[in-house]
């Protein structure tokens, strides 16, 4: 199967070219002395290596310059985020094409994609990477690995919306280094990650994040259930969690992926301070961050309109994934 721009094919091409070069040099040995044969082999291998290096650079250049063959995109999960991304891709984005989707409820997903302009197969999560150059994870955190593992192993570009789940699959970073895959986390519901990344090039002293959500956006979270915290009948704001971002994502896996993204961009989730409030006086998910570094001190606040389908996430999350996709094929990009 033609894998487009997936980098894993490069090593196989290089090995084949080296083998061909060696065979040519071996044939020449019958027509030359040993002293002539060894330099012939060295020169042929050097030429092959240079050709391979130039080819790989060319592939990177093609990817950036918007190759005439669009990047093939697969989506794992058709919830509030996945459906919106799928709709936008089906409507058409230059340089990108939707090739497959997956969902827990296969029949429901098949019924959904029947309304698309193009015929899109509904596959198992583990099969998505076989069809695509880019795999987007929009599934529940419990099945994160089923989407991520094959995508990383096959050297695809992997875009996780559940960035918090990556903390439990950190081995995927090393796996991506071996396979040539790339893991690109969207900004999601948080602004300012470019400034945090820039500050991290120097020294960041402290990062604090305060998340406030309507009680319905937090109800049912594991942390609340384990600690018998009832947020449904609140009449005033209540802080329900205070700790680090890596602790927070365990108790609120569907609520604070942004805190993990902030931690990875900055000083680490284990050092990123997090507060979570259930606030019956608001109707938007709000995130406030404060960063103190040797290069700058800044505070940012964002109010996200909750998704109608899933109040735990904001409408802007799906748009952030779409913007990340556009960036892959854009001639001009803005931001760090």
Which band of pLDDT confidence, cut at 50, 70 and 90, is reported for residue 104? confident
26-51: average pLDDT: 44
- The SS3 of residue 267 is coil
- The SS3 of residue 293 is strand
Q: What is the dihedral of CA 169, 171, 175, 177, to 10 degrees?
A: 110
Cβ contacts of residue 134 below 8 Å, gap of 6+? 71, 72, 73, 74, 96, 156, 157, 158, 159, 325, 328
pLDDT at site 306? 86
E-assigned strand segments in the chain: 71-76, 96-102, 134-137, 157-160, 182-183, 204-213, 238-244, 273-278, 285-293, 297-304
* Spatial contact of 210 and 288, defined as CB atoms under 8 Å apart: yes
Residue 171 among the catalytic residues: no
Which band of pLDDT confidence, cut at 50, 70 and 90, is reported for residue 22? very low
Taking the C-alpha atoms of residue 119 and residue 65, their distance in angstroms, rounded to an integer, is 28
Domain ranges in the chain are: 8-64, 71-187+318-329, 193-312
Domain 193-312, CATH homologous superfamily name and number: Dihydrodipicolinate Reductase; domain 2 (3.30.360.10)
Half-sphere exposure for 301 (CA within 13 Å, toward CB): 5
pLDDT at site 20? 52
Comparing 10 with 323, which gets the higher pLDDT? Answer: 323
Checking if the pLDDT of 8 tops 50, the result is no
Cβ contacts of residue 53 below 8 Å, gap of 6+? none
238-244 and 285-293 beta bridge pairing: unpaired
- DSSP class of residue 15 equals H
pTM over 0.85: no
Q: Which of 19, 66, 118, 287 is catalytic?
A: 287
* Residue (of 54, 51, 94, 55) closest to 71 by Cα position: 94
Give CATH for domain 71-187+318-329.
Answer: 3.40.50.720
| % residues pLDDT > 70 (the chain) | 80
């Amino acid at each position: 199967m033609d894998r487009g721009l997936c980098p894993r094919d490069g090593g196989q091409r290089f090995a084949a070219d080296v083998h061909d070069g060696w065979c040519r040099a071996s044939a020449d040995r019958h027509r030359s002395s040993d002293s002539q044969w060894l330099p012939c082999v060295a020169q042929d291998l050097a030429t092959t290596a240079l050709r391979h290096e130039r080819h790989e650079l060319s592939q990177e250049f093609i990817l950036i310059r918007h190759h005439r063959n669009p990047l093939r995109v697969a989506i794992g999960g058709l919830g509030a985020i996945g459906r919106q991304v799928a709709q936008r891709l089906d409507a058409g984005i230059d340089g990108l094409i939707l090739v497959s989707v997956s969902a827990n409820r296969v029949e429901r997903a098949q019924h959904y994609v029947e309304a698309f302009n193009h015929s899109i197969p509904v596959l198992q999560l583990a099969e998505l990477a076989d069809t695509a150059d880019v795999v987007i994870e929009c599934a529940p955190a419990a099945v994160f690995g089923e989407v991520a593992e094959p995508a990383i192993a096959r050297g695809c570009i992997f875009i996780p919306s559940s960035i918090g789940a990556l903390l439990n699959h950190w081995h995927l970073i090393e796996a991506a280094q071996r396979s040539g895959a790339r893991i690109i986390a969207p900004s999601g519901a948080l602004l300012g990650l470019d400034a945090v990344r820039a500050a991290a090039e120097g020294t960041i002293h402290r990062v604090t994040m305060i998340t406030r959500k309507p009680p319905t956006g937090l109800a049912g979270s594991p942390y609340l259930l384990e600690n018998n915290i009832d947020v449904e009948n609140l009449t005033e704001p209540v802080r329900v969690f205070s700790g680090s971002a890596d602790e927070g994502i365990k108790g609120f896996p569907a609520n604070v992926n942004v805190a993990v993204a902030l931690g990875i961009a900055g000083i680490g989730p284990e050092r990123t301070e997090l507060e979570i409030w259930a606030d019956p006086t608001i109707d938007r998910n709000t995130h406030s961050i404060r960063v103190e570094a040797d290069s700058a001190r800044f505070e940012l606040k964002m109010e996200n309109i909750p998704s109608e389908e899933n109040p735990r996430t904001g409408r802007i999350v799906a748009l952030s994934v779409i913007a990340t996709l556009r960036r892959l094929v854009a001639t001009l990009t803005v931001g760090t």
